[in-house]
Chain A
């Protein structure tokens, strides 16, 4: 009997959703890697039950509020790394050209984000790690945003950090740092060869130790196996991040993943619910690719299947759906947007 067949037999005699109800919903203990795999291998006719349970878990352990965030690319393109999914790598023949956003542009983007009701604004740069020029730009930008009267929470995503850079970001008032592990440790060398999964992990550990909130997730649909998806969920759970952004691959022209098929909608929803059951208390955010993978209806199902945070508006190089459409969706679902006062 194959391992998958054994798991299927096991889960039919001891239903993984029944186990999850007691373990995750009642006790708040996330599913293990093996249990997540059993969830991901559930038949499609169990999807509705799975999503309903994940929603209950989210409501029980996180509450009804949804954190809304906007993101901006401060430095676009020309990245020396070879992340195979990324149109901003300078190593692939993509149509993305390098660009720097100036300070007035950054302040305006923060204003636009706050105007949506978002409480979180993430400044992102396509780099291996920040140099002195980039950190200086971030420092000036954060100062200018504050001087404009905007008190939105500021997060950064600037690649791998040294301890000195971590301390500098804390001193600037950056409260959360994003650095995605991107995929399972066992799959990472197939996705990135210019740095290691462990280097990313080390940055996240420094961020946590310095008192910043840790934001780390990844991209599903990069050729990983179902087993590696379960591995990834377990590794994220071990990190105990404050936030996990879930992206679904948008195949970017010119990248090695240009011709990959987007994740199928039901599969994506199953992943959302499984990640929620692995991390009952973590903020789970819908990020890039949901428009392509799930469309409007699927996004609603995801919000009712474990998601409790969302990026509104556009992404770094791709466009999202209009922010107002997501805000209307949250209103229709009677999900209150987290207020800034609750974040401070």
Chain B
């Protein structure tokens, strides 16, 4: 699995910058399955993020792949 904020493997390296207050203001940018950069749309009350390989996740269902 990959970090949705920096795209590096979850289990490798320093992810302290991906878990702070700053990261809480960021929607996911990288696919957790393959680390591809996702196309992200932020809306006034949520966000959606689409991976070309693994589909879309949303703030309503952040872990599901649509």
Distance in angstroms between the alpha carbons of A70 and B44 in the assembled complex: 6
- Would A95 and B7 count as touching, CB distance under 8 A? yes
Contact segment of A198-206, A315-323, A333-341: A315-323
- Would A314 and B40 count as touching, CB distance under 8 A? no
- Would B43 and A319 count as touching, CB distance under 8 A? no
Q: Which residues on A sit within 8 Å (CB–CB) of B45? A: 112, 313-314, 322-323
Distance in angstroms between the alpha carbons of A195 and B48 in the assembled complex: 32
The verdict on A291 contacting chain B, using a C-beta distance below 8 Å, is yes
Distance in angstroms between the alpha carbons of A292 and B22 in the assembled complex: 7
- Would A109 and B44 count as touching, CB distance under 8 A? yes
| Given A95-B30, A97-B37, A97-B38, A319-B25 contact (CB < 8 Å) | yes
The verdict on A53 contacting chain B, using a C-beta distance below 8 Å, is no
Distance in angstroms between the alpha carbons of A237 and B6 in the assembled complex: 40
The verdict on A36 contacting chain B, using a C-beta distance below 8 Å, is no
Write the chain B residue with the least CB distance to A99: B39
- Most chain B beta carbons < 10 A, residue from A70, A97, A116, A250: A97
- Would B41 and A76 count as touching, CB distance under 8 A? yes
- Would B6 and A97 count as touching, CB distance under 8 A? no
Please report which residues of chain B, range 1-52, place their CB below 8 angstroms from some CB of chain A when the two chains form the complex. 5-7, 21-22, 24-27, 29-30, 37-47
Task: Tell me how many residues of A have a C-beta within 8 Å of chain B.
Answer: 33
The verdict on A273 contacting chain B, using a C-beta distance below 8 Å, is no
The verdict on A172 contacting chain B, using a C-beta distance below 8 Å, is no
Write the chain B residue with the least CB distance to A115: B45
Q: Which residues on B sit within 8 Å (CB–CB) of A142? A: none
Q: Which residues on B sit within 8 Å (CB–CB) of A108? A: 43
Q: Which residues on A are within 8 Å of B, measured CB to CB?
A: 70-73, 76, 95-99, 101, 105, 108-109, 112-113, 116, 250-251, 253, 291-292, 312-320, 322-323
Q: Which residues on B are within 8 Å of A, measured CB to CB?
A: 5-7, 21-22, 24-27, 29-30, 37-47
In the assembled complex, 21 residue pairs joining A and B whose CB atoms fall closer than 8 Å, in A order, are A71-B44, A73-B41, A76-B40, A76-B41, A76-B42, A96-B40, A97-B38, A99-B40, A99-B41, A108-B43, A109-B43, A112-B45, A116-B44, A250-B22, A292-B22, A292-B25, A312-B44, A313-B44, A315-B42, A317-B42, A323-B44
